[in-house]
Amino acid sequence: MTAIAPEHRADFTARVRSAAAVLLITACAALVYGLGVLHPIDDALSQWRFRLLERPPSATLTVVEIDAESLRAAGGWPWGRDRFARVIDNLNGAGAKVVGLDVDFSAPSTTIADDALAASIRRWPGQVVLPTFDQQVGRGADRRQISTRPIEALAKEAVLASVNVPMDSDGRVRRYRHGFDTAAGVRPSMAATLLGRPPSVSDFLIDYGVDAAAIDRISFQDAYSGKFDPALVRDRHVLIGSTAVELGDQFATPKRGVLQGVYIHALAYESLRAGRALQSLGVPFLIACSALVALFLRPRTASGYAGSLRRHLLVGTASVGLPVALQAWMPISLDAGPVFVAQGLSLIWLVRNELQRRAQAVVQAREAHLVQLADHMRESRDNISVAHDKLAVANVALDRALKARTDFLAMTSHEIRTPLNGVMGMTQVILADQTLPDGLREKVRLVHASGETMAALVDDLLDVAKMESGTISIVKAPMDFRRLFDETLAVWSDKAQVKGLSLTGDRAAAPALIEEDAGRLRQILFNLLANAIKFTEAGEVSLSASVDNGPLGDQLVLTIADTGIGIAPDELERIFEPFTQVDDSRTRKYEGTGLGLAISRRLAVAMGGELSVDSQLGVGSRFAIKLPLRAAVATSETTAQPASLAAASVLLVESNPLARGVLRAALSDQVAALEIVESTAQAREAIALRGCDLLLVEGKALSVFERSAIEVLDEFAGTVRGAKIVVLWGGEAAEGLRLQEAGADLVVQKPIAASGLVERLKTVFTFHDLDEASPAHPRRNAQQPATRLKVGAL
Ligand code: ADP
Report the share of the chain in percent with pLDDT over 90: 36
Q: What is the CATH number of the domain that holds 738?
A: 3.40.50.2300
Say how far apart CA 617 and CA 570 lie, in whole Å: 11
Strand partners, 612: 624
Q: Which of 125-134, 150-159, 176-185, 375-384 has the lowest mean pLDDT?
A: 176-185
Length of the chain: 794
Q: How far is the CA of 503 from the centre of ligand 1 (A)?
A: 18
Of the listed ranges 85-94, 156-165, 438-447, the one predicted with least confidence: 438-447
Q: Within 13 Å and on the Cβ side, how many CA atoms surround 733?
A: 17
pLDDT of 136 over the 70 cut: yes
Instruction: Tell me how far CA of residue 679 lies from CA of 226, 257, 654, 656, 683, in angstroms.
Output: 174, 142, 7, 10, 6
Instruction: Look at residue 637 in the predicted model and tell me its pLDDT.
Output: 38
Q: Is 120 helix (H, G, I), strand (E, B) or coil?
A: helix
In 3D space, the residue among 205, 238, 26, 27 whose CA is nearest the CA of residue 129 turns out to be: 238
Q: What is the mean pLDDT of the chain?
A: 84
What is the rounded distance in angstroms from the CA atom of residue 703 to the CA atom of residue 709?
A: 4
- 575, 612, 614: residue to mutate for ligand 1 pocket, most atoms within 8 A of CB: 575
- Separation of 100 CA from ligand 1 center, angstroms? 137
Confidence band for 441, pLDDT divided at 50, 70 and 90: confident
- Out of 495, 501, 540, 581, mutate this one to test ligand 1's pocket (max ligand atoms within 8 Å of CB): namely 581
Confidence at residue 488, expressed as pLDDT on a 0 to 100 scale: 82
Q: Tell which of 595, 629, 663 closes a domain.
A: 629
* CB of 575 sitting under 6 A from ligand 1: yes
Write the CA distances from 460 to 105, 427, 450, 759, 780, integer angstroms.
145, 23, 15, 20, 8
Q: Whose CA is nearest to atom 13 of ligand 1?
A: 581
User: At residue 220, does pLDDT exceed 90?
Assistant: yes
Contact 185, 132 (CB under 8 A): no
Query: pLDDT at position 783, please?
Result: 31
Nearby residues of 403 by Cβ (< 8 Å), 6 or more positions away: 469
Rounded Cα–Cα distance for residues 668 and 649 (Å): 10
Cβ–ligand 1 distance for 763 under 6 Å, the answer no
Query: pLDDT digits over 646-655, tens only?
Result: 878 889 998 8
Residue with the larger pLDDT of the pair 33 and 265 = 265
Q: Is the CB of 565 under 6 A from ligand 1?
A: yes
Average pLDDT over residues 670-678: 84
Confidence of residue 502 (pLDDT cuts 50, 70, 90): very high
pLDDT at 791: 25
CA 481 → CA 277, 385, 512, 604, 633, distances in Å?
133, 53, 5, 16, 12
Q: Is the CB of 464 under 6 A from ligand 1?
A: no
Answer yes or no: is the C-beta of 581 below 6 A from any ligand 1 atom: yes
Atom of ligand 1 minimally distant from the CA of 620: 24
- pLDDT tens column, 478-498: 788 887 888 788 778 888 998
524 Cβ inside 6 Å of ligand 1: no
Task: Tell me which residue has its CA closest to atom 3 in ligand 1.
Answer: 592
Q: Contact 110/94 with Cβ under 8 angstroms?
A: no
**C-alpha–C-alpha distance, residues 504 and 758, integer Å:** 29
- Is residue 12 situated within a structural domain? no
CA 536 to ligand 1: nearest atom: 24
Looking at the fold, whether 123 and 21 belong to one and the same domain comes out as: no
Judge whether 425 lies within some domain: yes
- 588 CA distance to ligand 1 centroid (A)? 13
Note the helical H segments in 102-213.
111-123, 152-155, 190-194
d(CA 229, CA 322): 43
Read off the pLDDT of each residue in 606-610 and give the average, rounded to a whole number: 93
| Beta carbons of 160 and 150 less than 8 angstroms apart | yes
Looking at residue 151, the DSSP 8-state letter turns out to be: -
| 83 shares its domain with 204 | yes
**Rounded average pLDDT over 254-261:** 83
Q: 629, 664, 692: which is the final residue of a domain?
A: 629
- Is the same domain home to 41 and 127? no
Residue 582 Cβ inside 6 Å of ligand 1? The answer reads yes
Give the pLDDT band of residue 704 (cuts 50, 70, 90).
low
Inside any domain, residue 1: no
* Higher-pLDDT residue of 504, 45: 504
Q: Is 562 in the pocket of ligand 1 (CB under 6 A)?
A: yes
What number does the ligand 1 atom closest to the CA of 527 have?
Answer: 7
Confirm or reject: Cβ of 531 under 6 Å from ligand 1.
Answer: yes
Domain co-membership, 711 together with 760:
yes
Contact criterion met (CB below 8 Å) for 235 and 246: no
Rounded distance between C-alpha atoms, residue 45 and residue 43, angstroms: 5
Residue 31: pLDDT above 80?
yes
Burial 320-358 (b: 16+ CB within 10 A, else e): eeebbebbeeebbbbbbbbbbbbbbbbbebbeebeeeee
5 is a domain residue: no
Same-domain check for residues 246 and 105: yes
Same domain, 237 and 110: yes
Residue 597 in any domain: the answer is yes
What pLDDT shows up at residue 769? 36
Please indicate, yes or no, whether residues 354 and 321 belong to a single structural domain of this protein: yes
Residue 343 within any structural domain of the chain: yes
pTM, to two decimals? 0.48
Atom 21 of ligand 1, residue of closest alpha carbon:
531
Asked if 124 contacts 132 with a C-beta cutoff of 8 angstroms, the reply is no
**Is residue 327 domain-shared with residue 427, that is, in the same domain?**
no
DSSP assignment, residue 172?
Answer: B
pLDDT at 588: 54
Q: Is the beta carbon of 564 within 6 A of some atom in ligand 1?
A: yes
> How many domains are there within the chain?
5
Q: What is the tens place of the pLDDT at every residue in 546-563?
A: 999 888 788 999 999 999
Check whether residue 107 and residue 153 sit in a common domain. Answer: yes
Instruction: In whole angstroms, give the CA distance from residue 630 to residue 628.
Output: 7
Kind plus residue range of the DSSP H or E element containing 553: strand 553-562
Minimum CA distance residue for ligand 1 atom 14: 581
C-beta of 663 in contact with ligand 1 (< 6 A): no
Instruction: Starting at the earlier edge strand, list the strands of the sheet with 694-698.
Output: 673-677, 649-653, 694-698, 724-729, 746-749
Q: Are residues 197 and 67 in the same domain?
A: yes
**Ligand 1 atom 20: residue of nearest CA:** 531
- Domain holding 498, by residue range, is 477-629
Supply φ then ψ for residue 203, to 5 degrees: -125, 175
Instruction: Work out whether strand 128-137 and strand 144-148 pair parallel, antiparallel, or are unpaired.
Output: antiparallel
Q: ∠760-765-769 over CA atoms, to 5°?
A: 65
Find which of 259-263, 399-403, 581-585 is predicted with most confidence, using mean pLDDT.
Answer: 259-263
Q: Single out the residue in 565, 600, 629 at which a domain terminates.
A: 629
Q: How far is the CA of 595 from the centre of ligand 1 (A)?
A: 9
**Model confidence at 667, in pLDDT bands (50, 70, 90)?**
confident
Please choose from 531, 562, 586, 779 the residue to mutate so as to test ligand 1's pocket, defined by most ligand atoms within 8 A of CB: 531
User: How far is the centre of ligand 1, averaged over its atoms, from the C-alpha of 762 (Å)?
Assistant: 33
pLDDT(564) > 90: yes
Q: What angle do CA 187, 191, 197 make, to 5 degrees?
A: 65
621 lines ligand 1 (CB under 6 A): yes
- pLDDT, position 256: 67
Residues 764 and 645 in one domain: yes
At residue 765, φ and ψ (nearest 5 deg) are -90, -35
Position 793 scores a pLDDT of 23
Closest to 696 in 3D by CA, of 726, 736, 657: 726
Q: Give the Å distance between the CA of 482 and the centre of ligand 1.
A: 26
Distances, alpha carbon 610 to alpha carbons 314, 427, 525, 557, 607, in Å: 90, 40, 13, 10, 8
Position 583 pLDDT exceeds 70: no
Q: How confident is the model at residue 718 (pLDDT cuts 50, 70, 90)?
A: low
Q: Is residue 141 part of a domain?
A: no
The continuous run of DSSP H or E covering 755 comes out as helix 754-765
Nearest-atom index, ligand 1, CA of 599: 6
- Taking the centre of ligand 1 as the mean of its atom positions, its distance from the CA of residue 449, in whole angstroms, is 22
CB 627 within 8 A of CB 607: yes
* 567 pocket-lining for ligand 1 (C-beta < 6 Å): yes
Q: 537 pLDDT exceeds 90?
A: yes
Q: What average pLDDT score do residues 46-57 get? A: 88
> What are the pLDDT digits (tens) for 446-460?
888 788 778 778 878
In a domain, 4, yes or no: no
User: 304 and 400 in one domain?
Assistant: yes
pLDDT range class, residue 238, cuts 50, 70, 90: very high
> At 515, which CATH number?
3.30.565.10
Residue 43: band (very low, low, confident or very high) from pLDDT cuts 50, 70, 90:
confident
What angle, rounded to 10 degrees, do the helices at 304-329 and 39-52 form?
60
If pLDDT is split at 50, 70 and 90, which confidence band does 766 have? low
| Closest C-alpha to ligand 1, atom 7 | 596
Peptide bond into 323 cis (omega under 30): no
For residues 34 and 192, the answer to whether their CB atoms sit within 8 Å is no
Is 595 near ligand 1, meaning CB less than 6 Å away? yes
pLDDT of the residue at 717: 65
From the CA of 599, how far away is ligand 1's center (Å)?
12
**Would you state the torsion angle of the CA atoms of residues 731, 734, 735, 737, taken in this order, to the nearest 10 degrees?**
120
Instruction: Tell me how far apart the alpha carbons of residues 783 and 773 are, in angstroms, rounded to a whole number.
Output: 12
59-79, pLDDT tens digit by residue?
Answer: 999 999 999 999 999 888 888
Of 212, 236, 262, 194, whose CA–CA distance to 62 is shortest? Answer: 236
Does residue 594 have its Cβ closer than 6 Å to ligand 1? yes
Helix (H, G, I), strand (E, B) or coil at 442: helix
Probe target for ligand 1 pocket from 467, 492, 535, 537, with the most ligand atoms within 8 Å of CB: 535
